[in-house]
Amino acid sequence: MPELMSSPSESASPSSSSGGGNYDESNISVLEGLEAVRKRPGMYIGNVQDGSALHHLVWEAVDNSVDEHLAGHCTLVDITIHADNSISVVDNGRGIPVGMHEKGVSAAEVVMTVLHAGGKFDHDTYKVSAGLHGVGVSAVNAVSELFRLEIKREGHVWVQEYSRGIPLAPLHPVGDTDETGTKVTFKPDPQIFTLLEYSFDILTSRLRELAFLNPGLIIRISDEREPKKQEEYCYQGGIVDFVALLNKSKDAINEKVIFFQATQDNVMVDIALQWNDTYAEQVFCYTNNVHNKDGGTHLTGLRTALTRTFNGYGTKNTLFKDIKQGLAGEDVREGLTAVVSVKHPDPSFDSQTKSKLVSGEVKGIVDNIVVDKLGAFFEENPVIAKKIIDKALLAAKAREAARKAREVVRKGALDIASLSGKLADCQSKDPAESEIYIVEGESAGGSAKQGRDRHFQAILPLKGKILNVERARLDRMLSSQEIGTLITALGCTINEFGKFDIAKLRYHRIILMTDADVDGSHIRTLLLTFFFRQLPDLFEHGYLYIAQPPLFRVRKGKKDLYIKDQSALDNHLLENAVDGLEISGQGRDPITGKPIYNLARGLRQARSILHRLDKRHDARVVATAVRLGLTAEDLASEDKIHEFARRMQERLQQRYPDSAPFQTKVNTKPSGSHFLVVSARPGAFHAPAVLDEDLLNGQDYTELLGFDQDLQTLGPAPYLARASGSHEPVSLPDGEALHSFLEERGKKGLTISRYKGLGEMNANELWETTMNPDGRTLLRVRVDDAIKTDELFTILMGDQVEPRRQFIEQNALNVRNLDI
């Protein structure tokens, strides 16, 4: 693709000494082949710095496979994230053509190396497709350090490899096969991409969508970076299953999802609708399997048709006695969950990212189909229709109250001047450099106001916990004083549709700064709920952050060190513990430095695992089994398991005499495998420990065995620990004593203070640790999987108790840092 490249002297006169010469025909560059993609990757694949372009490479490869499915030739797509962050995409489609092209190379090489080349331009090969411009997989090839193409077609396996878009050899056969399909493997080029780490959640979110949009297509993904991390998606119900999943944790008004499909003017439209008892509208729009996050003409057609259908049916059946006028669009769409999927032979979009469909004819097509099909559904199901319209009527009655509350905010009754004493604004009026800290409580707010940089940092203290907007309509939300204060401070006025205007945001860094306790976490969750439901654009633009104030201050002499959390403190104490220390077992050379640190960290992790296992098993019994070397293979031998039972009982009696007598019993499962049940004396606190295949094959027990083997490399106990400058070593009888010794030594000479809240920090401390851009740590909040995120907010913050109870029960044993 040719591209005009102006020289630096373009704006200067020809005689300018700073210009470096004349601007003439020699300054016009033509980028050949894939060079244009490498020169300007953002034009083709998006932002190469924030991860969007990185994942877009996968979408381009997968879309080709899905297009094969749409053409009726592919039933399986398999994606693998390799350990080196390369990606493989395999399908069982027809395979890219391998014959010689008129350009003198194989057709496959043309597809991989020439922009605007492919099979998507005529409507014979593909009736509909996600690809339109023929730049997809060739752009992936251009920005890949290594790219391998493998095609199964015409009885052979064909292979060709590329480096940064350049073929390393012609396409050639390497074997025979009776299968067909295409496999591409690519590794993103570090010369192009800043971020090279793929997100499993981002990939699975999009792949699950594709499975919903293409009923019967099997999509698998596996992640070799983590063992056993894989997913498989296949939905015979298509977008009906999609809507059902979105509403899984909500109370549906119409229990059965309304679905209809129709074709008009070669445009096929699939629509699934279901209303629930919440107040948010959730509509996902797709064109040829591509998500149009900004909607477009298909969304406009749906909204227009819904309003027209509801008002027509309600008027005809005299259902509007309690309201003066008909239903507005927002009334009809309150609590609506919908998916609109359009298959168009030649769609038009607002940009290469395809975020908005602009094909004008689609609006009328969708409008006609919805009015016809939904109107017929209402006539055939009057009971369901009345329930849905009753929901809309309640929304209409609340709309007037919402309008009044909205006008209060829109007309500036809560303007910036009225926030004096609450909002400490910054001097800068440039949103790009301005940031606002939303702080928990007046005390922390006071320290933050004194410690901030007034030029670009604003402070807004919030009093108490804000309203849970997951359970509130717009009118109630806007009547909340704290939310009104927050909206006004951010500057996001509300338009006539009750939506916040992100363009008027006064700060491009919104930083949540709450205490590191249960109340602080709850306040942060309530704020995140508000932003996710009312200002989702904040996540997309990357404007929302969470501050990371330190949890501990460690003082040694007159020097202070601020540490962010318990894990960092543990690591610091380990480093302090092993400093100047050497340890040896009987008859072995001592170890120092890093080996001791790794050993100490293993002992700490082992204690943590045992503490976790103690919730389900007696940790003392598990630790004894580890020391005796009991493995799952030993359970198969009756003689071995009885011998282990005897030795275990002896060891437990000696080690824990206060809990004796221990009872050790060998049982047998129907499968023939044995297991041990060990219990302390009757009335003891600990539940019996069950040592079976599930426990002994589990990751926790396997890790414990590994840590015990590391300890054995020291040699036999007792262990001798000697500090530098000390003549007498300390004798330690076993690993537990060694761990306790290291813990005590790590704290020696240190004064550790835990901050209970931000208010305990003075202004200088807060600035130095949390607010100074040169030294602070901020976590950017992003949404990788919108569907899972929506479900999680619904479970945790919604009205339904049962899903929340199930969630707590399933995750209770995985909780960390429980504050009781």
Beta bridge partners of 232: 220
Handedness of CA 370, 371, 377, 381 (dihedral sign): positive
Residue 424 DSSP class: B
Residues of CATH 3.30.565.10 domain(s) within the chain?
42-233
What residues does CATH 3.10.20 cover in the chain?
607-713
Given 3-state DSSP classes, what are the helix, strand and coil percentages for the chain, each rounded to the nearest 5? Answer: 40, 20, 40
Residue in this structure with the two tokens 């009057």, named with its chain if needed: 382
For the domain made up of 42-233, give the CATH fold. Answer: Heat Shock Protein 90 (3.30.565)
User: Going by C-beta distance under 8 Å and a sequence separation of 6 or more, which residues neighbour residue 597?
Assistant: 574, 575, 578
- Which one-letter amino acid corresponds to residue 173? P
Find the helix or strand (DSSP H, E) in which 657 lies. Answer: none
Rounded CA gap, 338 and 374, in Å? Answer: 13
Residue of 109, 270, 440, 791 marked active site: 440
* pLDDT (0 to 100) of residue 734: 86
Peptide bond into 661 cis (omega under 30): yes
Q: Which CATH class is domain 607-713?
A: alpha beta
The one-letter code for the residue type at 553 is R
Task: Return d(Cα 140, Cα 366) in angstroms, integer.
Answer: 34
Q: Half-sphere exposure of residue 738, counting CA atoms within 13 Å on the CB side?
A: 29
Of 319, 445, 321, residue with least CA distance to 387: 319
User: Would you call 363 exposed, middle or buried from its count of C-beta atoms within 10 A (0-12, 13-18, 19+)?
Assistant: buried
Containing H/E element for 259? strand 258-264
Per-residue CA distances from 796 to 253, 349, 525, 593 (Å): 21, 37, 9, 46
Q: How far apart, in Å, do the first and last CA atoms of the chain sit?
A: 63
* Residue ranges, the chain, pLDDT below 70: 1-33, 116-135, 352-353, 401-421, 493-499, 660, 681-686, 812-820
For the chain, give the longest Cα–Cα distance: 100
For the 243-403 domain, the top CATH level (class) is: alpha beta
Token code pair at residue 477: 């939300």
Report how far residue 777's alpha carbon sits from residue 275's, in angstroms, rounded to the nearest whole number. Answer: 42
Task: Identify the pLDDT of residue 133.
Answer: 37
pLDDT (0 to 100) of residue 28:
40
Instruction: Give the integer Cα–Cα distance in Å for 276 and 396.
Output: 16
What is the number of other CB atoms lying within 10 angstroms of the CB of residue 430?
Answer: 11
Residue of 475, 517, 736, 784 marked active site: 517
Note whether 50 and 195 are within 8 A (CB).
Answer: yes
Beta bridge partners of 282: 337
3-state secondary structure of 753: strand
Helix/strand number for the chain, H first, E second: 26, 29
Amino acid, single-letter form, for residue 278:
T
Taken in order 397, 401, 404, 410, the sign of the CA dihedral is negative
Q: Which residue spans of the chain are classified as CATH 3.30.230.10?
A: 243-403
Residue of 515, 570, 708, 785 marked active site: 515
Q: Where in the chain is the domain with CATH 3.40.50.670?
A: 412-549+761-801
- 482 is annotated as an active-site residue: no
Q: What is the layout of strands, in order, in the sheet containing 290-291?
A: 258-264, 267-275, 336-343, 282-287, 290-291
Query: Is 517 a catalytic site residue?
Result: yes
How far is residue 304's CA from residue 295's CA, in Å, rounded to a whole number? 13
pLDDT at 815: 57
- The Cα 806–Cα 736 span in angstroms is 37
User: What DSSP string describes 418-485?
Assistant: GGTTT-B--S---TTT-EEEEEESHHHHHHHHHHS-TTTEEEEEE-SPPP-GGG--HHHHHT-HHHHH
Phi, psi of 697 (to 5 degrees): -90, -5
Q: Are 370 and 305 in contact (CB under 8 A)?
A: yes
Strands 457-462 and 435-440 come out as parallel
Cα separation of 278 and 706, whole Å?
50
Q: Is 515 a catalytic residue?
A: yes
Distance CA 384, CA 484 (A): 37
**739 in Cβ contact with 607 (< 8 Å):** yes
Single-letter code of the amino acid located at 448: A
- What is the pTM for the complete model shown? 0.68
In order of 422, 425, 503, the CA distances from 433 in angstroms are: 21, 13, 15
Identify the architecture of domain 412-549+761-801 in CATH: 3-Layer(aba) Sandwich (3.40)
Query: Of 501, 519, 736, 743, which is the active-site residue?
Result: 519
β-pairing, 591-592 vs 581-584, is: antiparallel
